[in-house]
Structures are given as structure tokens and as C-alpha cells.
Amino acid sequence: MSMARLLSRRRRQLLIAAGALALPASGRAAVEFPQVRPRPLVFPRDHGAHPAYRTEWWYLTGQLSTPAGPVGVQITFFRARTPVDPANPSRFTAQQLVIAHAAIADPARGSLLKDERVARAGFGIAQVAEHDTDVRLDRWTFRREPGGRYLCEVPARGFTLRFAATPTQPLLLQGQDGFSQKGPRPEQASHYYSQPQLALDATLERDGRMLAARGSGWLDHEWSTAVLDENGAGWDWVGMNLDDGSALTAFDIRRKGGGPAVYAYASLRAKGQSRVQLFGADEVRFEPLDRWNSPRTRADWPVAQRITVGPRVFETRPLFADQELDSRASTGAVYWEGASTLFERGARVGSGYLEMTGYLAPIKL
């Protein structure tokens, strides 16, 4: 690792640690995090931030069509509320952290081109709006226009990504009208909606060259306080835009030590349909098809998976194997975030992303 990268990583670690300095000597503060409860989602308000909850993210993935083949793009903005007492009068208390990850998945490169940022909210450096999607971290921005189009600009180390993401379908409310169960207990849930089949119009600058490309994207917005069951090690998740206009979501919460999943879920919405077909835990199953062992972390990732959703059986294949992100300096997690192609009965039926966590160590949110 170069000295510049080492210093940059150390700076990020110090920024995160600074949030703990404002805690009282006991290490805890009298902060109450609200639990997610079923309620109607209200827009555009719920496109914005929900700072009372512990964790929130806006997560956009997509694949761009280029003359050399598909290129994956991923940008995620996280908001995390710390346990610092909001009554603390100091302007320097880290009550909210804003974290961002960006990655380009180009098969010609064979590994991710990636960058990350983290800062406490405020001081003109990081902000999250509550009225609508409008997130900023340094010069990285992600916002939603009144008409529904998303605009993003990420001047990262090694590349600059700019894109417009235009909805072509209505919002997809996950779970029961946006209340998404993640475990057997009622409080293990999130508010969660997706925006599949986004039309992407992007420019990517790297190595002194500019590439303009179009493609298809997927947005997830999710906020919660308690998600993972104590027996959960991590999750496998897919958001796939099918070529026929359908949208497939599926995830499982894997059990520590193996065995049946703690929880599983899937949804499938056909193009032009308002009805979302939901699948319960006993109808969803993830099975490894091909594995890749990371030479950096030694995590063993099932980078290709068979996903059973009710009567249908899909298979994912990555654009390439090495799509691991080590974010221990920001979110604290090592995860695999992979641009993938979706197959059914041996034929391509769509594309999107497979995300996996907890394969190096059980994840903590």
C-alpha cells in the first residue's frame, strides 16, 4: 500500500473515531432509536433522510453498454446516527455520519476501480436533506429532481462518474407496502422501496479518456434501526432488471454456522403491472454455484449463485470474480458487490447486481 493511501485510510479511521470522543465516560448516551413500524410511505418526503433511525442508505447500481461490453457502476450513500446525545451542545459532536462508496466494474480491468468517503454531517462538508433525496459528501452528490430523475456526480480517485437516472416504471414498495421484514421478530424490519428499470445516461472519465454510455439501473432506499437477528451472519441480495421489463428482488439472511436461513424474501413485478408477487421464506433459496477466494482478505465468496424463487430457478454469473470491497475503514464491513448477468434455463434473462456480506466475519450494523 502506498504512503498516500495509508495516510488517507488513517484519516478516515480518525474521522470515524472522532465520533466516539463526544460520548460520556460510560461509553453510552441516553439516545433512543425508533423502531420501524408499518405505515404508509409518503412521497416525496420519504425519498429524503430519516435521521432519527440508526441506519439508512441510497444504493444505486447499474450496467452500462459499451463497445467492449457491459461495465458495472455502483454508488452508495450511507447515513448513520451515532449514540451521541443530541442535547450535547458542542458543534463538533458527530451525531450523524455520512459515508459513500463508488465502484466501477470493468471486465477489461479485472478488478474494481473504487473509492470511498466518510465525514460527520455539517460544516458544509456532508449533508442529507429530509424533504427529498439530496445527499452530499464533499464534492460527491446525489439528488432527485422534482420530476423524479436522479442526478449524480462522483469525482473520485482514479475516475469521475456522472449520470442521470430516469424512472421508467413506478416505485416498487418492498414487503408489505414498504415495510420489509428481515427476521422472525417484528422489530427486525426496515422501510424499503426500490426503483427498478432506471434509464441511465452516464459519462465515465478515467485514464484521461471519457466514455459516454447508456444502460439500465436499480435504486434501493432503505432505513431501519434493528435489522439483523442475533443468529444472522450476513445476507445475499439481488436486484435484477429482467430483459422483459420485470424486476426481481431476492435476499436471504444467512445463519451463523450454516443451516437454514434466518429469513428470506423475494418479489417479482412484471412490466406494466402494479401488483407485486411476493414470496415467503420457504419459497426462496440461495445456493452457491462457483466460488472465489480473495487473495487480500481470504474471504470465500460464492460469486455465482442459483436462486430459487417459487417455481422459477435463476442463476447469476459475475462479469468477473474480483468485485470485493474492503470498507473496514468506513462502514467496518468487507462485502462483495458484483455486476452480474441473470440466467434462467441456460438463457440470459436480465442483469443487475449480487451483494453479499458476512463471509469474512458476521456483519454488524
State the architecture of 3-21+44-357 in CATH terms. Beta Barrel (2.40)
The whole-number pLDDT of residue 331 equals 63
Min mean pLDDT across 89-103, 148-162, 306-320 is at 89-103
Residue 201 has pLDDT above 60, yes or no: yes
CB 121 within 8 A of CB 99: no
Report pLDDT digits (tens) over 26-45: 444 467 889 999 999 999 99
Residue 232's region, left for phi above 0, alpha for psi from -120 to 50, else beta, is: beta
Reduced DSSP (H G I as helix, E B as strand, rest coil) percent helix, strand, coil of the chain, to 5? 5, 55, 40
Give me the pLDDT at residue 91, please: 63
Range in 20-24, 107-111, 201-205, 357-361 with the lowest mean pLDDT: 20-24
- Residue 124 — pLDDT band, cuts 50, 70, 90? confident
Identify the three-state secondary structure at position 17.
helix
pLDDT on residue 363: 73
User: Across 93-246, where does the E strand assignment appear?
Assistant: 96-105, 113-120, 126-128, 134-137, 140-144, 150-156, 159-166, 172-173, 179-181, 189-206, 209-224, 232-242
Percentage of the chain beyond pLDDT 90 is: 76
Arithmetic mean of pLDDT, 194-220 = 96
Predicted local distance difference test score (pLDDT) of residue 23: 41
Strand partners, 235: 253
Over the stretch 247-290, which tens digit does the pLDDT of each residue have?
A: 999 999 999 988 899 999 999 999 988 899 999 999 999 999 99
Answer for the pair 324, 299: CB distance below 8 angstroms, yes or no: yes
Give the Cα separation of 129 and 11 in Å (integer): 26
Residue 226 has pLDDT above 60, yes or no: yes
pLDDT, averaged across the chain: 89
Amino acid at 54: R
Taking alpha carbons only, the member of 225, 293, 281, 277 closest to residue 253 is 281
List pLDDT tens digits, range 300-351. 999 999 999 999 999 999 999 999 988 776 666 798 999 999 999 999 999 9
pLDDT at 4 > cutoff 60: no
